[in-house]
């Protein structure tokens, strides 16, 4: 079993969404895309936002997402920002 689980990660990501608004993440696929994009940033030289327990970039990305250090932008927010920072996937 994966720790944290997909449902736990989805709760963390959607915790900032107010009642009645659409959730940022609706599927496991969105979690996979966001963490893989962040892992690629780490592989390409970005420094981790947390003190990682693991050494693998994907594990670090999952830890960042679970700790709340990394935020997933919705499609509207992503299109509005020209330059994405390391904290956004």
Q: Which tens digits make up the pLDDT trace of 44-80?
A: 998 888 887 778 899 899 898 888 888 877 665 554 4
Helix (H), strand (E) at residue 60: helix 57-67
Predicted confidence at residue 37, as pLDDT, reads 92
For residue 85, give its domain range.
48-89
Quote the CA–CA distance of 4 and 12 in Å, as a whole number: 10
Identify whether 58 is part of a domain. yes
Listed range (15-29, 30-44, 64-78) with the worst mean pLDDT: 64-78
Residue 77 falls inside a structural domain: yes
Structural domains of the chain, count: 1
The answer to whether 24 touches 71, Cβ cutoff 8 Å, is: no
How much is the pTM? 0.69
HSE-CB at 81 with a 13 A cutoff on CA atoms is 13
């Amino acid at each position: 079993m994966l720790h944290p689980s997909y449902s736990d990660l989805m709760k963390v990501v959607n915790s900032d969404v107010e009642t009645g608004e659409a959730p940022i993440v609706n599927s496991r696929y969105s979690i996979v895309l966001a963490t893989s994009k962040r892992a690629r940033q780490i592989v390409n030289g970005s420094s981790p936002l947390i003190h990682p327990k693991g050494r693998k970039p994907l594990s670090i990305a999952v830890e960042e997402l679970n700790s709340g250090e990394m935020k997933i932008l919705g499609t509207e927010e992503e299109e509005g920002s020209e330059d994405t920072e390391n904290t956004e996937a």
